Amino acid sequence: MLISCGDALIDFVPTKNVDGREAVMPAVGGSCLNVAIGIARLGAPTGFVGGISTDLFGRMIADHAAASNVQLGLATRSDYQTTLAFVRIVAGESHYAFYDAETATRNWTFRRGTIPFGAVEAVHVGSTTLVNDQGAAETTALIADAKASSTISFDPNCRPNLVKDKPAYLARMAEFAAGADLIKMSDVDFAYLFDEEPYQQRARALLGQGTSLVVITRGNDGAIAWHAKAGQIEVEAPKIEVADTIGAGDSFQAALLFALHKQGRLARQQLKDIGTDELRRALSFAANCAGLTCTRPGADPPWSREISWSW
């Protein structure tokens, strides 16, 4: 099994009403839930770990996850309200306003001993759950239990408008990166975390501290990755007509994890030993899945029947 641990929420995505005026449409989202949904839709057994409300929106989240074959037995249901995020598209980028006080996601706690990590191939973490102290602490505890047997995947998926103390946040992201086997971030996240530092310089530093794979996605410019054995690899983004970019990075992450799983290269040692051609195929598959997600509104990653690949 693969599991994704973190945020589950409702995005209110921009649309137009019949009069052509601006409106919003509720859509299930949350970076870590999107990753779980993306993996499950592609066909790998997947579970979600995190807080899901029992309110109206929480039921929407649970129904959506179940319909995508995500296992929710490890999630924590509570009567705290659901996190809400309102989205605007500015210069092609998604910008968010979060309503996240006293929510099910914020009040999630890791129940030690409840996850059979020996049967978990990889654990993905990241995004808004890591901004607040409790979420970061609970995720750290989960990683400590998972690390011995499971590959750790990390995407900071930064949300600057939630960050109150940037130096502390940067230090926290560095700690999570130090414990990760696979790190993926967007070029926007990279700029927020590392300013104008060259990609390759930071990638070499991350590889030097034990990370096996570092990937940076760059929108229309495709993705670039660094691996200690396979070297530096670039893949192109598909040519598409963009509806919005919501969930594109999550779809890329999900598809990359799925592709590595299918190739038998997701376990820690197998990821260290992956070859250049294998990694290029996995990255290209991830880019194509992200591109398909961008052709439709909201975080709507592809199903296996919609995307083809060759191993």
Class of residue 3 by CB neighbours under 10 A (exposed 0-12, middle 13-18, buried 19+):
buried
pLDDT digits over 252-273, tens only?
999 999 999 999 999 999 999 9
**What pLDDT is stored for residue 240 in this prediction?**
87
Q: What is the pLDDT of residue 116?
A: 94
Residue 183 burial class via C-beta count within 10 angstroms: exposed 0-12, middle 13-18, buried 19 and up? buried
Q: Mean per-residue pLDDT for 139-164?
A: 95
Q: How many CB atoms lie within 10 A of CB 208?
A: 9
User: pLDDT band at 299, cuts 50/70/90?
Assistant: confident
Q: Which of 38, 87, 33, 36 is nearest to 60 (CA)?
A: 33
pTM to 2 decimal places: 0.94
The tens digit of pLDDT for each residue in 25-40 reads 898 999 999 999 999 9
Q: In what order do the strands lie in the sheet with 22-29?
A: 22-29, 9-16, 83-90, 93-99
| pLDDT single digits (tens) 119-150 | 999 999 999 999 999 999 999 999 999 999 99
More confident residue, 203 or 88: 203
Mean pLDDT of 9-24: 84
Average pLDDT of every residue of the chain: 93
Q: Are 50 and 5 within 8 A, CB to CB?
A: yes
87 vs 309, more confident? 87
**What is the per-residue pLDDT for 310?**
58
Residue 308 in this model has a pLDDT that exceeds 80: no
**Which parts of 147-264 fold into alpha helices (H)?**
166-178, 187-194, 199-208, 248-262
